[in-house]
Structure 1
Amino acid sequence: MSESKDRPVLTGLVALVAVAAVVGLLFGLAALFGTKVLGLDGGGVDASAEATSGSETTMYLPEPEPTETTEPTTTAEAQPGQAPSSTETTPAEQISLSASQVSVSPMQQIDLTGTYAQGEGAILQVQRLEGGTWSDFPVTVSVSNQTFSTYVQTSQAGVNRFRVKDTDSDLTSNEVEVTVG
């Protein structure tokens, strides 16, 4: 008997690998040829188009330079010995939080949404008032386009108070109350 008749599975695997290699090579060559024909390889740009574009691709990064910062000015500055005016923003006014539900069943989703105008990209930690102190709830949310949205679930019956806290600046939002049960 010949060796291929003794090992049909091995022969089949070798043939399968050979066919896959040939098909892969043909597809690779077709893709290479297609990019050349369609001008996707970057070599098909003519000199007139390059001259009018006015830009060259480069990997050059300029040296960083320090920027000048200016202190923000306020229109109504407090005089010495006077209390600050009520127009100054407080942390609760900078991060605004609202809950879509005021009453839910245990473990029902509570949707929390809000705005944080100066907090683009900030990470906010959801907190719950427990025994008179704020405890981190196992939920964080990031600010995108000055807004954020997340949800929490709890089985703790009664009135639950939630807020969010900026993990970098420690600014906090207003409280929202949701009754569970």
Structure 2
Amino acid sequence: MPPDQPSGPPTDKLGDQRPDRPVLSGLIALVGVGLVVGLVLGGVALGAVSVLGLGGDDGGSGRSSDQQAFYLPKPQPTDEPDGPLITLAPEPGGDGSASAEPSESATTEAAEDEISLSAGQASVTPMQQIDLTGVYTGGEGAILQVQRFADGTWVDFPVTASVSNEMFSTYIQTGQLGENKFRVVDTSTGLESNEVTVTIG
């Protein structure tokens, strides 16, 4: 007779562990999904922080230092420096330039009242043309009378010249032998030019 066998359904050693495996697998899956989701959310959070610059103190300080390096203050006029400069500039200039201004104006007036005459030829034959040219600063439109020095006095020569663009030119002819001195005189003001000497002969 065969040995007694335990009553009940047959059992399997592996069969006792099968109900536990799906639970363990589920737990492992949940932990893995949690890790993945955590990593993804952490990456998104770090990206948002770097883009928005919320937690970057170094980056923020770098930006502020860059902005401060390129910051230029807007110039604003101040009344205090302008006042003394305007007041002080005329005073030294007034003492120094007050005496200088009259001399400058006098020099300018003297230059404007000056008639400069020159002869185109130093010596000519009798009745050869003698070119007279010159500059009369400030004498625009003036009529100049040519004069010749004879017998110790200046005598009008029958030739005149008009000033245009502060310049004049004319010519004369004479048969008077020897050295002849010529000049021009403003018929309105009587202002005389320098003398020029031309030898005839």
Normalised to the residue count of structure 1, the TM-score between the two structures is 0.51
* Residue among 56, 64, 75 paired with 2:101: 75
> By how many angstroms is 1:74 displaced?
7.3
Normalised to the residue count of structure 2, the TM-score between the two structures is 0.46
Q: How does 1:1-20 map to 2 (within 5 A)?
A: none
| Paired residues, number | 101
Paired letter, 1:170: G
Deviations along 1:14-55, one digit per CA (max 9) or x if unpaired, are xxxxxxxxxxxxxxxxxxxxxxxxxxxxxxxxxxxxxxxxxx
* Residue among 138, 143, 163 paired with 2:183: 163
Paired letter, 1:89: A
Residue in structure 1 matched with residue 147 of structure 2 by the alignment: 127
Q: How far apart in 2 are the matches of 1:164 and 1:86?
A: 22
The structure that has the greater radius of gyration is 2
Q: How does 1:20-35 map to 2 (within 5 A)?
A: none
Greater helix percent: which structure? 2
Q: How far apart in 2 are the matches of 1:115 and 1:88?
A: 15
Asked if residue 139 in structure 1 is aligned to residue 139 in structure 2, the reply is: no
User: Residues 138 and 171 from structure 1, CA distance in 2 versus in 1: closer, same or farther, beyond 3 angstroms?
Assistant: same
Q: How far apart in 2 are the matches of 1:74 and 1:141?
A: 36
Amino-acid identity (%): 63
> By how many angstroms is 1:76 displaced?
3.7
Task: Structure 1: state its 5+ residue gaps.
Answer: 1-72, 78-84
Deviations along 1:124-146, one digit per CA (max 9) or x if unpaired, are 00000001100000000100000
Residue in structure 2 matched with residue 89 of structure 1 by the alignment: 110
| Deviation beyond 2 Å, 4+ runs, structure 1 | 85-91
Task: Structure 2: state its 5+ residue gaps.
Answer: 1-98
Q: Matched residue of 1:89: which SS?
A: helix
Q: How far apart in 2 are the matches of 1:88 and 1:123?
A: 19
Q: Matched residue of 1:178: which SS?
A: strand
Q: How far apart in 2 are the matches of 1:75 and 1:154?
A: 46
Q: Which has the higher contact order (CA 8 A, sep 6+)?
A: 1
Q: Matched residue of 2:110: which SS?
A: coil
* Residue among 126, 132, 142 paired with 1:112: 132
Residue in structure 1 matched with residue 61 of structure 2 by the alignment: none
Root mean square deviation of aligned Cα: 2.5
